[in-house]
Amino acid sequence: MATDTRVILICSGKGGVGKTTLTANLGISLARQGLTTAVLDADFGLRNLDLLLGLENRIVYTAQEVLEEECRLDQALVKHKQESNLSLLPAGNPRMLDWLKPDDMKRIVDMLKEQFNYVLIDCPAGVEDGFKNAMAAAQEAIVVTNPEVSAVRDADRVIGLLNTNAIKPVQLVLNRVRPKMMANQEMLSIDDVTDILALPLLGLVLEDEQVIVSTNRGEPLTLNSVNSPAAKCYLNIAKRLQGEDIPLIDPVEESSGFGAKFRRLMQTKIF
């Protein structure tokens, strides 16, 4: 039985910035470090964390059945095929949208706390009931945002709500960073984002086409592709979450350095 479980909410406000992808990859990375990890899909109206993890066809029960005592928790938990330390729990059935209440969320997280080192909650987009439910049981949060104005504005709103609900610490992940555009100042820079949001940066994730491929295959990047830039970023985030001191990558250097040019050359299809 794990004692000091960390319950982390992964949220963004805006949709499509990469909450679910981060949850899946962070889950795999933590599990690979030998930590028992549960990912709880609180976005059950439009659930797709199971798709990303390639576990869609293994779901039988959800947290709803567990709370209604129709099944046991271990029946509802779906173990990952390759990473046995990782389990998925969908919070509910997409057809029963309004059953979940903040208290239900607390009860289910309390049950998960008894078995796992980490509980990652994948939060739905928006700041309405779905977000409030997902937030109810969280102790700390990771806010995901993209270097664009609308995503940063929504993240700011969400951070305000997290603060008024006494969720601490809140850390930031800047997703889909394009080093070249940042170097040419065509995109918000890291400083622009951290200036407004005033949060510690947990990590950057570089834009990577392989993310799309891995999503469609249902195999998170961190599972096997070691050479993907995004996968490295996810691994680093997981390590930093564990307290390891790993320096952030510098996107400008990444785009102009010799190593980057060489890597791009190697990845070009002609070779």
Partner 1 sequence: MNSKPQKIIINADSNQYQNWKLCVKSKFKTIKSKNIEIDCENFDLSCSDILELIAIANESNCKIVCFYSTSSKTIVSSQSLGYRSHFILENDSYNTLKMNNKDLNISKADFHQGTIRSGEYLDSPGDLLILGDVNPGAIVRAEGNIIIWGRLLGIAHAGSKGNARATISALQLRPLQLRIASKVARGPKEKPQLGLAEQARIDSEKIIISQLESI
267 sits near partner 1 (criterion: CB under 8 A): no
Residues 212-244 as b/e (b if ≥16 CB within 10 A, e otherwise) read eebbeebbbbbbebeebbbbbbbbbbbbbbeee
In the list 1, 34, 69, 166, the residue contacting partner 1 (rule: CB under 8 A) is 166
- Specify the stretch interacting with partner 1 by CB under 8 A; choose among 90-98, 110-118, 158-166, 215-223: 158-166
Asked if 156 interacts with partner 1 (CB under 8 A), we say: yes
The piece of 76-84, 155-163, 214-222, 226-234 that touches partner 1 (CB under 8 A) is 155-163
- How far is C-alpha 16 from the geometric centre of its chain's CA atoms? 12
Pairing of strands 201-206, 6-11: unpaired
Token pair listed for 10: 């992964």
201 lies in the site for partner 1, by CB under 8 A: no
d(CA 249, CA 196): 21
Binding flag, residue 150, partner 1 (CB under 8 A): no
If one asks whether residue 60 binds partner 1 (CB under 8 A), the answer comes out as no
Distance CA 42, CA 63 (A): 10
Instruction: Report the nearest approach of partner 1 to the CB of residue 98 (Å).
Output: 18
Nearest approach, Cβ of 64 to partner 1 (angstroms)?
23
Q: Which two tokens stand for residue 128?
A: 């309405």
Q: Which is nearer to partner 1, 55 or 142 (CB)?
A: 142
| Member of 157, 217, 261, 264 binding partner 1 (CB under 8 A) | 157
The answer to whether 200 contacts partner 1 (rule: CB under 8 A) is no
Contacts of residue 178, Cβ cutoff 8 Å, sequence gap at least 6 = 187, 206, 207, 251
Among 1, 60, 198, 266, binds partner 1 (CB under 8 A): 198
Task: State how far the Cα of 79 lies from the Cα of 77, in Å rounded to an integer.
Answer: 6
Question: Where does this chain bind partner 1 (CB under 8 A)?
Answer: 127, 153-154, 156-157, 159-161, 163-166, 196, 198
